[in-house]
Amino acid sequence: MEGEETPRAIRVKTTKTLRTFGSFVSPTAGAIIFLLSSIFTFYNALLLIGILALSSAIIGWFLQFQDKKHQDQYDGSIVITENENGGKMFSIEVNGEPLDMEFKDEVLFKIKHVSDTQ
């Protein structure tokens, strides 16, 4: 499996798991440990809270670079324009030559919402 690229579904699932851990699980666990350490005597509670905070910061830093890296990988965008009557128009904007998409195995679009009411 050398040289084989990780499937996009696995990357997305891993990123979602890391995002959930870094933004919800780790800070919640730190807050619970802080609360319980004031009630009970937890030795090294401050160290554990620091480790959880550091892990959240490292995961956030990692995900920030992942987001920037994947922004350049979009093949275009799907623009959803909503007019004043409540109707929606979907259009595709392609980065690069549209005929090159014929030779790709998968295409990734970013969704853009645009309001037509001004």
Domain range annotation of the chain: 8-71, 76-115
What length is written for the chain? 118
For the chain, residues with pLDDT lower than 70 are: 1-10, 67-72, 116-118
Q: Any residues with CB less than 8 A from the CB of 106 and at least 6 apart, and which?
A: 8
Q: Any residues with CB less than 8 A from the CB of 73 and at least 6 apart, and which?
A: 108
Please, what is the average pLDDT of the chain? 80
pLDDT of residue 117: 55
Residue 81: exposure state from Cβ atoms within 10 A (0-12, 13-18, ≥19): middle
pLDDT of residue 115: 73
Q: What is the reported pTM?
A: 0.49
In this structure, are residues 82 and 88 in contact, taking their beta carbons and an 8 Å threshold?
yes
Count how many Cα atoms sit within 13 Å of the Cα of residue 54 in the half-sphere of its side chain: 6
Specify the residue for token string 């937890």.
42
